[in-house]
Amino acid sequence: MIGCGVIAQRHLHSASGTPDLEVVALADRDAAALKRTAEAFGIKRTYPDALPLIDDPEIEAVVLALPAGIRCAIAVRALQAGKHVLLEKPTACDVAEVDRILEARGDRTVGVCSSRFTFLESARVARETVGSGVLGSLRTVRARGLIGSKEPSGKPPPPWRLSHKLNGGGIMANWGCYDLNYLMDVTGWRLRPRTVLAQVWTTPEHLAPGRAAAGSDAESHVAALIRCDHGIVLTLERGEFLSMPPETAWQITGERGSLRLQMVPGQSEEAPVIHDDTPPDAGVVSKTLVEGPVDDVNHLMPIRDFAHAIRDGRPPRTSLEKGRLIQQITDAIYESARTATAVEIDPTPIP
C-alpha cells in the first residue's frame, strides 16, 4: 500500500477481512501516519518512500492510494518493476497519463477503483435488467448527484481535492468518475460517446472559506451533455457546496421502459432499483426490483476483485481500457467547459 491517508485506511480494513490477499508493506512520506497505520494493522515492513517498496522483490502488487497528480509516474515505475497495480480514482490527470500507464503495463494486471459502486447488488440487478433488453432501445442515460452547502467541518480542506494539478480536477474527478463508471457498467459498456458539451463552476466565493483550500482552481459543480452512437444521450450533473437541498437520481430510459436507480443506496428514500414498464394496454406500470438496504461492499470489492483478477488472469471489473474511456469523457468535459464549444471524441475500444 503506497499512501496511508483516508482511502488507504479503507483499503486496509477491507484487506484485513479477506483471505484473498495479505498487505505486507506500507509506504508514506508522512512518518507519523506511516507509523500509526503500520501499528494499527500489524504491518512490520514500512518505507518512507514509494520506490524502495516498489523495488522489494517479495511484493507482487501495489495499491496506489494517492492523489492523481503524483500517481502516474509511480504507477509506471511499479509496472516496470513487474508489479500489478491498483489505481485509486480518478484513473489519471488526463488521457496522456493513462496512455503512459498502458504502454508500461505489459502482461501485468491494472485495475481502477472507480468501479466501487458497480459491485453492489442493486448494480447487478440493473445490469441484468438492461442486458435483458426489456427496456428496448436506449434513449437517455442520466446521473444527477447534487449536495447542498453544509456547515464547514472545521478541518482544513485538503489542497488536492479541488485542484487540476494535484488531482486532475474537482468534483468531476472525485465523483463524476464514479457516476460514469456506474452508468457505463450497468449498460454493459455499450455506450460509445462521440460529442461532449459541458459547463463547470467553481465554489461560490462566499462559501469557499472552510470548504475549498487556498489556491483551489477546479470545479465543485459540473453539467455535461454527451451524445453517444445510436442516438443515445448521457447527461451528468454533479455538485457540492450548492445553494439547494440535496438531490440524487440516476435513470436509464428506453423506448419500452426505464429504470430508476440509486448508485449509492441510502442517499434517497427511493428504492435502489425501480423498473417502469409501458404495456400497450395500460399506462406506466412500476415494479421495485431491489428493496433497501443494500450491503455496503463498495470499499471491500475493488481490492478483492483486483486480487482475484491477478490469480485468474482476467481483467479487473474496471480495466485500464475502461478507465481510459472514462478519462476521455472527463478530458472532453473540461475542454468543452474551457472553450465553450462541443468536443468530439473517438471512444476507447473496450476488449
Q: Are strands 233-242 and 138-148 parallel, antiparallel or unpaired?
A: parallel
The CA distance from 126 to 116, in Å, is 15
Burial of 256 (0-12, 13-18, 19+ CB in 10 A): middle
Residue written as grid cell 500500500: 1
How does pLDDT run across 30-69, given as a tens digit for each residue?
Answer: 999 999 999 999 999 999 999 999 999 999 999 999 999 9
Query: Under 8 Å CB-to-CB from 144, ≥6 apart: which residues?
Result: 235, 236, 237, 238, 247, 248, 249, 250
Residues of the chain with CATH 3.30.360.10: 121-293+326-344
| Assigned CATH for 121-293+326-344 | 3.30.360.10
Strand intervals (E) in the chain: 25-27, 45-47, 61-64, 84-87, 110-112, 138-148, 193-201, 221-228, 233-242, 247-254, 257-261, 273-277, 285-290, 343-344
With residues binned 3-state (H G I as helix, E B as strand, rest as coil), the percentages for the chain, rounded to 5, are: 35, 25, 40
pLDDT tens for the chain, 351 residues long, are 999 999 999 999 988 877 888 999 999 999 999 999 999 999 999 999 999 999 999 999 999 999 999 999 999 999 999 999 999 999 999 999 999 999 999 999 999 999 999 999 999 999 999 999 999 999 999 999 999 999 888 888 999 999 999 999 999 999 999 999 999 999 999 999 999 999 999 999 999 999 999 999 999 999 999 999 999 999 999 999 999 999 999 999 999 999 999 998 877 777 899 999 999 999 999 999 998 766 666 678 999 999 999 999 999 999 999 999 999 999 999 999 999 999 999 999 998
- Which helix (H) or strand (E) segment holds residue 95: the answer is helix 95-105
pLDDT at 295: 67
CA distance 87 to 2: 10
The C-alpha cell at 124 is: 447487478
CATH 3.40.50.720 in the chain is located at: 6-116+301-318
pLDDT score, position 292:
74
Distances in Å between the Cα of 90 and the Cα atoms of 31, 215, 282, 310, 313 are 26, 21, 44, 21, 24
Q: Using an 8 Å Cβ cutoff, are 202 and 220 in contact?
A: yes
CA 157 to CA 212: how far, in whole Å? Answer: 6
Close Cβ partners of 190 (under 8 Å, ≥ 6 residues apart): none
63, 84 contact by CB (below 8 A): no
Domain 6-116+301-318 is in which class? Answer: alpha beta
Model confidence, pTM? 0.95
164, 171 in Cβ contact below 8 A?
A: no
- Rounded CA-CA distance 34/26 in Å is 7
State percent of the chain over pLDDT 70: 98
